[in-house]
Amino acid sequence: MGVHMADDTSATGVTREGDTAVRQVLDAAVREGGVPGILAEIRDGGGQWYGTAGAADTDTCRPRGHGDRFRIGSITKTFTATVLLRLVAEGRLTLEDTVERWLPGMVTGNGHDGSAVTVRRLLDHTSGIHSHTNDQPALSRQASYTPGELVAIALSHPADFPAGTGWAYSNTNYVLAGLIVERVTGRGLAEEIADRLVRPLGLTGTSLPLGADPDLPAPHARHYTRLFSPDPGAPVHDATELETSPYWAAGGMISTVSDLTRFLAALLGGELLGPEQQREMLTMVPTADWLPRASYGLGLSRLVLPSGVPVWGMGGALFGSWSYVYGTRDGSRVVAANINADWVRGRWEDPVGLFTDLLEAGLGPAAGGVQSLD
């Protein structure tokens, strides 16, 4: 159960300051935290470093690999928001357009009002639209779901608050954002993500599955889930093959650590959005009952690490897979990581604690991070 380091035959790049601390967290995640396997990559001006620990497959003890594909959950939101902001830059819609304008009659009832919900309020989670993923019984009634069916599940519940008066994380916001992309362009969201982001950046391991395809392309780790139960004795299930239509534009994508660091470095570095759209994406609003010391922009979050260092990026969790990708404000140093589980034990209360330690090691003071002034 070794950790692959930058100076062995399984890694790339050259060991730099902070990489040793990251390696220690990876090792502890498996030895103390009990995760099956973990994978991380650091990208900066000096190149790329990656490390792994533990197993991709607990039956065969096959180790995790640098090229493993995994489900990235809510990091999908950053891709969806970037596509929408590029359409805004092209003048095809504005952030102040309403849902009612683009999806007439879709958002209404139970306190939901599509004429009061703007594109901006979808992307920064201030819409008040209830999240369909809070109704797991409704998501267990059939094999797959259309985006319209997901919206209907959300609207069967009262709105969380009147649009623009609060903050609540809602996956339905991004289902609606994906539908708006399709209405504006006349093309599928998967095509838009592929043509605007995946192909230009050379993200060869990244995709949004079409339809109800449950397959995870090789190479990949097995995805092990306890169904997010905090009980250490909860049974473990294999969720590698997973029908992800309930998550789609909000959480259905697949990627690799190399693709994620490349994408976020390009995004924060100004390669994907013009100055005005990047400023909009990075305009943060306060969050509620979410990550510690977090604020949220348009598909991108800002965390202040316990050391005081601010970082920008996104995390995502889906059954059997938990991922983070965060970097410096200018994208000059980015860290991406994935565990093929949705639990951790030992000194961490949950995977958020584990990833916080990993970000401190890779982006904090020891790695040259600058403390926040706020």
pLDDT in tens, the chain (374 residues): 334 333 222 344 444 545 889 999 999 999 999 999 999 999 998 789 999 999 999 999 999 999 999 999 999 999 999 999 999 999 999 999 999 999 999 999 999 999 999 999 999 999 999 999 999 999 999 999 999 999 999 999 999 999 999 999 999 999 999 999 999 999 999 999 999 999 999 999 999 998 778 999 999 999 999 999 988 899 999 999 999 999 999 999 999 999 999 999 999 999 999 999 999 999 999 999 999 999 999 999 999 999 999 999 999 999 999 999 999 999 999 999 999 999 999 999 899 999 999 999 999 998 877 665 44
Residue numbers of the domain that contains 148: 77-190
pLDDT tens figures, 62-120: 999 999 999 999 999 999 999 999 999 999 999 999 999 999 999 999 999 999 999 99
Based on the fold, state whether residues 174 and 231 are members of the same structural domain: no
Whether 142 maps to a domain, the answer reads yes
Whether 6 maps to a domain, the answer reads no
Based on the fold, state whether residues 264 and 361 are members of the same structural domain: yes
Based on the fold, state whether residues 105 and 186 are members of the same structural domain: yes
Beta pairing partners, 43:
48, 334
Whether 200 maps to a domain, the answer reads no
Based on the fold, state whether residues 227 and 332 are members of the same structural domain: yes
291-329 burial, b at 16+ Cβ within 10 Å, e below that, comes to beeebbbbbbbbbbbeeebbbbbbbbbbbbbbbbbbbbe
Phi then psi dihedrals of residue 118, to 5 deg? -95, 170
pLDDT tens figures, 345-354: 999 989 999 9
Based on the fold, state whether residues 355 and 228 are members of the same structural domain: yes
Whether 314 maps to a domain, the answer reads yes
Peptide bond into 219 cis (omega under 30): yes
Domain count, the chain: 2
Whether 337 maps to a domain, the answer reads yes
Query: In this structure, what CATH number is given to the domain that contains residue 357?
Result: 3.40.710.10
Whether 210 maps to a domain, the answer reads no
